[in-house]
């Protein structure tokens, strides 16, 4: 009897169909800007797909390709400028297929050695961009959220280990109001309280404001405080906190200094803005998402530590069947020891292949292109009477307003452009001195976005 794992003519045909689809999709630089449908409407079209006998590969694939994939918005579309879009390189996507096919368990060197070697080569480059001292290293995670969680857990454990008394306290961390939502939600996961401090005039967290916040703490809260999370490129506006002065205060106050550069981290490879990150080299840990501005497919985040041992203390899993990994020959770098996940995909492998193929200079070029597009968009906005910059662009984010528009106008404009297939540009909120305003926002990642694309989108804001 034929089993699920046997290979016959049908599986060969299906393989070819799927590879053909993958090749077409990978080479398509302007995929249709699909739109989501309601779940019940999708169900009406495709019916139940998981049944006792199965609906057949051809049928399932057809439903995916012709119906379901079209109910998604491709993030690599050159005029998808909403949220933080993505633009994985073709090399990286192809190697994502290889990563699946190679069936490598990426938790331990014993089984994943050669693949982990590749990941570590890519990681070496990431670490070199940060300027952290020798000995610093990191691992690839499922994204910025799990990287932040891994770092915050390491920080909390290091703080508890420092002083027996700390074990009795609920931990407390400080971050800024511009910090990503994942910092706030991961604080819940580690059961830590969080204080959001307001930024300065330039909407940044600075050492001065941090010191003031620490000085204002009650005696008990000061004892509970274990870490500061600064942002290296806020998701909404691309703002980089004043990392250098924040680092100084953290050192003086003996606090763990984490920099969340999930979105902005790519810009560490861009000489034109690298100086804005001054101080990141003093961090205890850093988050960078290669699936955002380093052209990796989903999902790929990274967490980097100044002192790997502190991460290991927090994350290394002990289990009797894991003891074998202590043997000679099986010894090497074990990614499972430095983040929250045990069994893991070698999610750094696509980044490695793309880096190895293209070289790091091509990365610098592609990231500089996003920065250029932001500057170019800003000039175009300033040249149009009814448009106005909300602030100068930071990194590749541009915040601007259409004078006289209400939140409903922004929403209707977004829907109309999405529907016509022109672009996906969503509104956002900008808060200054407690006043919140609905505005428009571009985030440039894709080097294939053209200046003409920007002109056309701005022209639609009549
Ligand atoms: C996107 C982002 C995150 C979350 O990363 P995921 O990969 O979506 O989990 C965290 N911090 C910042 C600053 C981000 O931009």
pLDDT, tens digit (0-9, with 9 covering 90-100), for 288-311: 999 999 999 999 999 999 999 999
pLDDT at 144: 98
- SS3 call for 117: helix
263/319 same-domain check: yes
Q: How far, in Å, is the centroid of ligand 1 from the Cα of 186?
A: 12
Beta bridge mates, 402: 387
User: Is the CB of residue 182 less than 8 Å from the CB of residue 316?
Assistant: no
Distance separating alpha carbons of residues 132 and 304, to the nearest angstrom: 9
Task: Provide the sign of the torsion angle of the four alpha carbons 258, 259, 260, 266, taken in this order.
Answer: negative
Give the residue, out of 204, 232, 263, with the most ligand 1 atoms within 8 A of its beta carbon, to mutate for a pocket test.
263
Does the pLDDT value for residue 459 go beyond 70?
Answer: yes
- Read off the pLDDT of residues 402-444 as tens digits, 9 standing for 90 and up: 999 999 999 999 999 999 999 999 999 999 888 899 999 999 9
Range of the domain at 42: 1-30+36-72
Lowest mean pLDDT segment, chosen from 140-144, 200-204, 448-452: 200-204
pLDDT in tens, 388-398: 999 999 999 99
What percentage of residues in the chain have a pLDDT greater than 70?
97
Say if residue 50 is in the same domain as residue 150: no
3-state SS assignment for residue 175? strand
Round to whole Å and give the CA distance between 120 and 139: 8
Query: How high does pLDDT run on average in the chain?
Result: 95
- Are 139 and 53 members of one domain? no
Instruction: Name the pairing type of β-strands 285-288 and 256-261.
Output: parallel
Q: Can you tell me which residue has the tokens 């990392």?
A: 243
What is the phi/psi pair of residue 300, to 5°? Answer: -155, 110
In the numeric block, which tokens belong to residue 142?
């499922």
Sheet harboring 137-141: ordered strands across?
137-141, 301-305, 285-288, 256-261, 225-231, 172-176, 193-197
Which tokens hold the place of 209? 């404001």
One domain, residues 139 and 54? no
pLDDT tens-digit map of 187-198: 999 999 999 997
Q: Secondary structure of the chain: what % helix, strand, coil (to 5)?
A: 50, 15, 35
Tell whether the model's pLDDT for residue 29 goes beyond 70. Answer: yes
Bridge partners for 286 per DSSP: 259, 304
Distance 179 CA to ligand 1 centre (A): 10
Q: At what angle do helices 360-382 and 451-459 cross, to 10 degrees?
A: 30
What is the distance in A from the centroid of ligand 1 to the CA of 287?
Answer: 9
In this structure, is residue 363 part of a structural domain?
A: no
Other Cβ atoms closer than 10 A to 366: 22
Residues 150 and 244 in one domain: yes
Average pLDDT of the segment spanning 233-259: 98
Same domain membership, residue 135 and residue 46: no
From the CA of 179, give the closest atom in ligand 1. Answer: 13
Would 450 be classed as within a structural domain? Answer: no
Instruction: Clarify whether residues 67 and 153 are in a common domain.
Output: no
Q: Domain with 238 in it: what CATH number?
A: 3.40.640.10
* CA pair distance 227, 174, nearest whole angstrom: 6
Pocket perturbation via mutation, ligand 1, pick of 144, 176, 181, 258 by most ligand atoms within 8 A of CB: 144
Residue 442: name the closest of 376, 367, 377, 365 by CA.
377
What is the reported pLDDT for 8? 84
pLDDT at 320 over 80: no
Asked if residue 394 belongs to a domain, the reply is no
Reference 346, options 149, 142, 129; nearest CA is 142
Q: Residue 202: pLDDT band by 50, 70, 90 thresholds?
A: confident
Find out whether 154 and 305 touch, Cβ atoms under 8 Å.
yes
In a domain, 317, yes or no: yes
Ligand 1 residue neighbourhood (C-beta within 6 Å): 84, 143-145, 148, 180, 182, 231, 235, 260, 262-263, 289, 301
Query: What token pair was written down for 317?
Result: 């899993």
At residue 457, the pLDDT reads: 98
Q: Which residue has the higher pLDDT, 201 or 400?
A: 400
Q: Where are the alpha helices (DSSP H) in 254-334?
A: 290-293, 308-315
Residue 263 included in any domain:
yes
User: What's the pLDDT at 83?
Assistant: 96
- The number of distinct structural domains making up the chain is 2
User: Does residue 442 lie within any of the structural domains?
Assistant: no
* Domain assignment of residue 173, yes or no: yes
Outline where 262-338 has alpha helix (H): 290-293, 308-315
Band (3; pLDDT cuts 50, 70, 90): confident
Backbone φ and ψ for 284, nearest 5 degrees, come out as: -85, -30
Of the three residues 279, 313, 347, the one that is the final residue of a domain is 347
- Do 68 and 109 have their domain in common? no
User: What value does the mean pLDDT take over residues 343-358?
Assistant: 98
**Separation of CA 288 and ligand 1 centre (Å):** 8
Asked whether residue 43 falls in the same domain as residue 165, the answer is no
Q: What angle do CA 149, 151, 156 make, to 5 degrees?
A: 90
Rounded Cα distance, 30 and 128, in Å:
34
Per the domain annotation, does 385 fall within a domain?
no
CA of 170 to the centre of ligand 1 (A): 25
For the stretch 146-172, pLDDT in tens is: 999 999 999 999 999 999 999 999 999
Which atom of ligand 1 is the closest one to the Cα of 289?
Answer: 7
pLDDT at 330 over 80: no
Measure 177 CA to ligand 1 centroid, in angstroms.
15
CB atoms within 10 A of CB 146: 19
């Amino acid at each position: 009897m034929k089993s699920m794992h046997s290979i016959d003519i049908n599986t060969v045909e299906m393989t070819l169909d799927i590879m053909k689809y993958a090749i077409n999709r990978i080479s398509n630089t302007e995929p249709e800007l699909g739109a989501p449908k309601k779940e019940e409407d999708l169900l009406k079209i495709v019916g139940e797909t998981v049944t006792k006998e199965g609906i057949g590969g051809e049928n399932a694939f057809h439903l995916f390709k012709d119906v379901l994939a079209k109910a998604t918005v491709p993030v690599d579309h050159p005029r998808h400028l909403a949220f933080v879009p993505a633009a994985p390189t073709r090399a990286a996507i192809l190697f994502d297929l290889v990563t699946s096919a190679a069936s490598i368990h990426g938790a331990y060197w014993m089984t994943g050695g050669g693949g982990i070697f590749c990941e570590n080569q890519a990681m070496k480059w990431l670490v070199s961009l940060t300027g952290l001292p020798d000995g610093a290293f990191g691992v690839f995670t499922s994204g910025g959220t799990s990287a932040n969680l891994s770092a915050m857990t390491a920080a909390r454990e290091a703080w508890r280990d420092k002083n027996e008394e700390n074990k009795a306290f609920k931990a407390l961390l400080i971050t800024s109001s511009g910090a990503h939502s994942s910092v706030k939600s991961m604080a819940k996961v580690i059961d830590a309280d969080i204080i959001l401090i307001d930024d300065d005039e330039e909407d940044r967290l600075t050492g001065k404001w941090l010191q003031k916040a620490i000085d204002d703490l009650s005696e008990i809260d000061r004892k509970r405080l274990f870490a500061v999370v600064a942002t290296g490129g806020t998701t909404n506006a691309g703002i980089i906190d004043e990392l250098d002065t924040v680092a100084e205060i953290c050192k003086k106050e003996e606090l763990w200094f984490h920099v969340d550069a999930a979105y902005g981290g790519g810009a560490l490879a861009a000489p034109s803005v690298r100086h804005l990150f001054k101080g990141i080299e003093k961090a205890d840990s850093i988050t960078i998402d290669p699936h955002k501005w380093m052209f990796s497919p989903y999902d790929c985040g990274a967490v980097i530590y100044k002192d790997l041992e502190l991460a290991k203390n927090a994350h290394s899993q002990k289990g009797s069947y894991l003891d074998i990994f202590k043997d000679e020959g099986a010894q090497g770098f074990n990614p499972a020891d430095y983040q929250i996940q045990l069994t893991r995909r070698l999610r750094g492998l696509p980044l490695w292949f793309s880096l190895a193929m293209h070289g790091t200079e091509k990365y610098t070029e592609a990231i500089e292109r996003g920065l250029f597009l932001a500057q170019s968009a800003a000039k175009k906005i300033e040249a149009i009477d009814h448009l106005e910059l909300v602030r100068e662009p930071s990194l590749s984010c541009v915040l601007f307003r259409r004078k006289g528009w209400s939140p409903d106008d922004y929403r209707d404009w977004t829907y109309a452009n999405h529907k016509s297939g022109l672009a996906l540009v969503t509104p956002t909120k900008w808060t200054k001195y407690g006043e919140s305003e609905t505005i428009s926002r571009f985030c440039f990642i894709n080097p294939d976005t053209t200046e003409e694309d920007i002109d056309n989108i701005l022209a639609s804001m009549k």
